Structure 1
Amino acid sequence: MPATLSSTKTAAALRRSARVSLEVLLILVAAAAALWILGRMWSVLWPLVVALLLTTLTWPPARFLRRRGWAPALAASVVTVLFLVVAAGVVALIAVPVASESGELTDGVTEGIEKLREWAAGPPFNIDDAEISGGIDSATERIKDSVGSMVTTLFTGVSTVLNGLVTAILALFLMFFFLKDGPRFLPWLARQLPGRLATDIPVVAARSWDALGAFVRSQAFVGLLDAIFIGLGLWIVGVPLVLPLAVLTFVSAFVPIVGAVFAGLVAVLIALVSNGLTDALIVLAIILVVQQLEGNVFQPIIQSRGLGLHAAVVLLAVTLGANLAGVVGSLLAVPVAGLIAVIWNYLREQLSDVPPEPETDGTPPGATASS
């Protein structure tokens, strides 16, 4: 005799499904409201985000000076001044030449795409030009916008020079205060929060700071190595625009997976246009070798480089960030995804049946410099 559905169980399942759907809907509404509030506060949050990223790079020397007995204000002042000197040197030696050659870089990429289209239309591929012209034209426009946006974002931070200057000044002041008073922030925060929040929020903040600092410092180091080796290879082959391509490689390192592909494609296209197919293949081989060294040598040496995110999650995060906020969104997408993963892992620990390992007392000072 065939089994019949139980009306009682069916009604209970429907009620449970409705309750879960309502809870999910409320969570999505709350998330949308939070994103809307963040968007309205972006003029304040953007300097704060930049300051935090800069603090992750400058905290190690400040911590070194503090451990040598320097006063917090003096250590923060010295590190801030040194950072300004280094930044000014980079702008004088790199930014000006790169900005002056950005137009030539964009024209070279566009010409390279056109040359690839002509090559694909001939034997042995014989691809109909009408089938690829729309996609190529769209890709050309996107690369033009991307290269221009990358240079603009790197050297101004926002759409206008004035807003970029204000953002930079606010970020520098915030970085100084983070370096000076950062270690006192989490104890102060714990005293302000009630109940269990006094424990949970500082722990999540400390873990988030550790993850963010590890990502920024390791990506900067790996990006620098990639830029040096790839730039050296381009110089040996005789490819023009070596300095802009090296800077583009360094900046693209902060967008995992996607950034390396983009920077490598630009370098190959420039070599194809200026030097021909043979040198373009040599440049491609150099980039592949450097990427293999990065994945198999550099990455194991820098053990804390990653955020523990799957490659598919990284790709989705970069795509979503680029759609929401352009180049800035793609640069911030992976760190934000890593921070979300930190929060989720902590929540999963608290909701699991097995109690998590107790927190160690030796929390590094750098973990308390966030805000």
Structure 2
Amino acid sequence: MPAKVSAAKSRAALHISARVCAELLLVLVAVAVALWLLDRMWSVVWPLTLGLLLTTLTWPPTRFLRRRGWPPALAAGLVTVLFLLVAAGVVALIAVPVASQSGELTDGVVEGVQRLREWAAGPPLNIGDAEIDRAFDSGVDRAQDGLGSAVSALVSGVNTVVNGVITAVLALFLMFFFLKDGPRFLPWLSRQLPGRLATDIPTVAARGWSTLGSFVRSQAAVGLIDAVLIGIGLWILDVPLVLPLAVLTFVTAFVPIVGALFAGLVAVLIALVSNGLTDALIVLAIIVVVQQLEGNVFQPMIQSRGLGLHAAVILLAVALGGNMAGIVGSLLAVPVTALIAVVWGYVREQLAEPPAEPEDDGEPMPGAALPS
């Protein structure tokens, strides 16, 4: 006969399940409140986060200067100025060649549109000028109807640009202060916290800082690989503006998904207006292959090695971050996941039981010297 279910054990299991569910519910509520507070304070949190990421890039030269006896403020100021000069140089490296060839590119765009129109007029589409004109008139009517929406979008875009400039300025100032006073932060934090927190939080903060540095370095390595591979492809096809496009690819690699799409679109457009449709399709194929290698091979492998995270975890984190917060979520998904892993690893260390000491049975260990 089958064993009879114990009522006492069933009630105990039900009580345990209810308690676990209640505790998980409390944790989810706490997480929801934390996310709500984070959203309310985003105007401060985002510049702070960006400043920390920039500091991980600029801290090695600052540390080098400080070890050579430079005052902290002078070393931080010099590195900040050099960082601004490098950023301005990158912008100039992209903008100046494009501006110098803007006329040629504009003529190429017009010619490309005309070619597309002639191609559409022939078989198999056989779209005549009348259909094209009607489609153009329809597009104009829709544009006029949506003028109010366009104005709203323009105002929103201007506000976004202004907010971006303010965020960048705040991040640069925070970077300077982090470079100048960063080494004094953890000792100061230890003095402000009571009990075990004076040890636990500075330790986790130090490990988190190391993790952020690994993330930025790995992202730079991935961007460099993308820039080199795509640059070689553009150079073989004799596409103009190879160096600016390679630099643009490297810079936009720090913005996942959208950055790659933007750099790829620019490269395909320039290849179309300068080399024709065939080379543009080849460039598109090269970019798609490189981006697939980046997303599925280079980035997971390099970041998993530097951050101690499995490649599948990184892919899932980027997907979840993008769904939750768009571009910013994709950008911060990997470092946030790595920081969570750092906290969890430290908690596990503290909760782990110490290894059992071997019992002393009074006999000497093999090879031990006997007392004389």
TM-score normalised by structure 1 residue count:
0.69
Q: C-alpha displacement at 1:340, in angstroms?
A: 1.0
1:205 corresponds to which residue?
Answer: 205
2:333 corresponds to which residue?
Answer: 333
- Mapped to 2, the partners of 1:312 and 1:298 lie a distance apart of 11
CA deviation vs aligned residue, 1:319-370 (integer Å, no higher than 9, x gap): 2222222212211111111111111111122122246xxxxxxxxxxxxxxx
CA 220–276 in structure 1, closer or farther in 2 if over 3 Å, else same: same
- Mapped to 2, the partners of 1:179 and 1:68 lie a distance apart of 15
Q: C-alpha displacement at 1:318, in angstroms?
A: 1.4
- Mapped to 1, the partners of 2:200 and 2:332 lie a distance apart of 25
Q: C-alpha displacement at 1:50, in angstroms?
A: 0.9
- Mapped to 2, the partners of 1:175 and 1:32 lie a distance apart of 30
1:189 corresponds to which residue?
Answer: 189
User: Is contact 2:269–2:280 with CA below 8 Å preserved after alignment?
Assistant: no
1:32 corresponds to which residue?
Answer: 32
| Superposition RMSD in Å | 4.1
User: Is contact 2:94–2:245 with CA below 8 Å preserved after alignment?
Assistant: no
1:134 corresponds to which residue?
Answer: none
- Mapped to 2, the partners of 1:180 and 1:268 lie a distance apart of 40
User: Are 2:16 and 1:11 equivalent residues in the alignment?
Assistant: no
- Mapped to 2, the partners of 1:44 and 1:96 lie a distance apart of 34
TM-score normalised by structure 2 residue count:
0.69
- Any idea what SS the aligned residue of 2:306 has? coil
2:147 corresponds to which residue?
Answer: none
Q: Show the 5 A alignment for 1:79-228.
A: 79-94=79-94, 160-228=160-228
The code of the aligned residue for 2:176 comes to: F
Q: Show the 5 A alignment for 1:171-320.
A: 171-239=171-239, 242=242, 245-247=245-247, 249-251=249-251, 253-254=253-254, 275-276=276-277, 280=281, 284=285, 306-320=306-320
- Mapped to 2, the partners of 1:290 and 1:318 lie a distance apart of 15
Q: C-alpha displacement at 1:249, in angstroms?
A: 3.1
Q: C-alpha displacement at 1:43, in angstroms?
A: 0.3
* Higher mean C-alpha displacement, 38-47 vs 334-343: 334-343
Q: C-alpha displacement at 1:53, in angstroms?
A: 0.6
Q: C-alpha displacement at 1:254, in angstroms?
A: 3.6
- Mapped to 1, the partners of 2:199 and 2:98 lie a distance apart of 48
Q: C-alpha displacement at 1:179, in angstroms?
A: 0.4
CA deviation vs aligned residue, 1:181-223 (integer Å, no higher than 9, x gap): 0001001101111111111101110011001011102321331
CA 173–297 in structure 1, closer or farther in 2 if over 3 Å, else same: closer
2:43 corresponds to which residue?
Answer: 43
The code of the aligned residue for 2:178 comes to: F
Q: Show the 5 A alignment for 1:46-57.
A: 46-57=46-57
Q: C-alpha displacement at 1:267, in angstroms?
A: 8.3
Q: C-alpha displacement at 1:76, in angstroms?
A: 0.6
User: Is contact 1:214–1:304 with CA below 8 Å preserved after alignment?
Assistant: no
- Mapped to 2, the partners of 1:45 and 1:306 lie a distance apart of 25
What is the count of residue pairs matched by the alignment?
307
- Mapped to 1, the partners of 2:83 and 2:221 lie a distance apart of 16
* Higher mean C-alpha displacement, 238-247 vs 162-171: 238-247
User: Is contact 1:255–1:331 with CA below 8 Å preserved after alignment?
Assistant: yes
CA 97–316 in structure 1, closer or farther in 2 if over 3 Å, else same: farther
Q: Which runs of 5+ in 1 are unaligned?
A: 123-156, 356-371
- Mapped to 1, the partners of 2:158 and 2:206 lie a distance apart of 29
- Mapped to 1, the partners of 2:32 and 2:342 lie a distance apart of 20
The one of the two structures with greater contact order (alpha-carbon pairs below 8 A, sep at least 6) is 1
Q: C-alpha displacement at 1:59, in angstroms?
A: 0.2
- Any idea what SS the aligned residue of 1:306 has? helix
1:345 corresponds to which residue?
Answer: 345
- Mapped to 2, the partners of 1:14 and 1:213 lie a distance apart of 46
Structure 1 or 2, whichever has the larger Rg, is 2
* Higher mean C-alpha displacement, 167-176 vs 63-72: 167-176
Between the aligned residues of both structures, percent identity stands at 65
- Mapped to 2, the partners of 1:163 and 1:72 lie a distance apart of 30
User: Is contact 2:90–2:247 with CA below 8 Å preserved after alignment?
Assistant: no
The code of the aligned residue for 1:348 comes to: R
- Any idea what SS the aligned residue of 1:230 has? helix
CA deviation vs aligned residue, 1:255-295 (integer Å, no higher than 9, x gap): 67x68985897589669967455774587468758987999
